[in-house]
Amino acid sequence: MTSPVLFETLLRLADDHLILGHRLSEWCGHAPMLEEDLAMPNIALDLIGQSRALYAYAAEVEGKGQSEDDLAFLRLEKDYHNILMVERPNGDFGHTMLRQFLFSSFMALFWDRAQNSTDETLAGIAGKAIKESLYHIRHSAEWVIRLGDGTDESHNRMVAANTALAPYIGELFETDDVTNTAIASGIIPRASDLRSAWETQVQTVFEQATLTPTLDHLAQTGGRIGEHTEDMGFLLAQLQFMQRTYPNMTW
């Protein structure tokens, strides 16, 4: 596989995790209980740690002298290729937990298969990431069940979260020339091959939460080619502020 395809594959994965990690970090100091004020930033740190490993490897593959910080903080909005789901505003706590559950359930399956990647470095990243993703599933699934099968208010909020997130699910399983080339080379698994197991896992949790998942929905797409929601620009203004205000700063 050519380096540009590997670079783009790594960049997409890194962008997914950085943007979602940043979204979760916005809960720090605002979570509904002390335990979550600790748990959510820790999950955010896991995601950002995964993105760092992916950005660092992507910079090495690209071979143009960029660092992980350059890739994370110094690109324009259209140059980020994350899925749209991860850039959505947090909404209420239930919305955040459901988003995390849907994403982590997919990534756990992805990382599990990616441990057998023909790219040894990506396989190593997957081996570490799978352990963290399994914890993220457990944590978010417990809250999906607790809120879905809770009070009328919490149940209705989870129904609303499901409705809001459903249009963004399809992009998890989207393929294009980049993914097809990476799949053919054994670098990443085919996302569509993960869908049945993903739907089974989601259905199991939703049944316990007394919710009905919306799994077949018109997909909102465009993130992989840099077409984002209006929320992305506001997110990047905050994410990139320090690096753009104080270029090349170090700790």
The least confident of 28-32, 72-76, 91-95 is: 28-32
226: DSSP letter: T
In terms of Cα–Cα distance, which of 7, 243, 204, 27 is closest to 121? 7
Q: Does the residue 12 lie in any domain? A: yes
Q: What is the pLDDT of residues 52-80, one digit of tens each?
A: 999 999 999 999 999 999 999 999 999 99
179: buried, middle or exposed (CB in 10 Å: 19+, 13-18, 0-12)? buried
Q: Does the residue 251 lie in any domain? A: no
What share of the chain in percent tops pLDDT 90? 88
CATH number for 28? 1.20.1260.10
CA 86 to chain centre: 5
Q: Does the residue 202 lie in any domain? A: yes
Task: Over range 201-227, report the average pLDDT.
Answer: 91
pTM (predicted TM-score): 0.95
Q: Does the residue 250 lie in any domain? A: no
Q: What is the pLDDT of residues 135-165, one digit of tens each?
A: 999 999 999 999 999 999 999 999 999 999 9
pLDDT for the residue numbered 91: 95
What share of the chain in percent tops pLDDT 70? 98
Please check the confidence at residue 201 and state whether its pLDDT lies above 90: yes
- Tell me the residue range of the domain where 147 lies: 3-245
Task: Over range 97-115, report the average pLDDT.
Answer: 98
Task: Over range 35-54, report the average pLDDT.
Answer: 94
pLDDT for the residue numbered 215: 78
Q: Are 187 and 12 in contact (CB under 8 A)?
A: no
Structure-token pair, residue 230: 């209006």
Task: Over range 113-135, report the average pLDDT.
Answer: 97
Domains held by the chain: number: 1
Which amino acid is residue 34, in one-letter code?
Answer: L
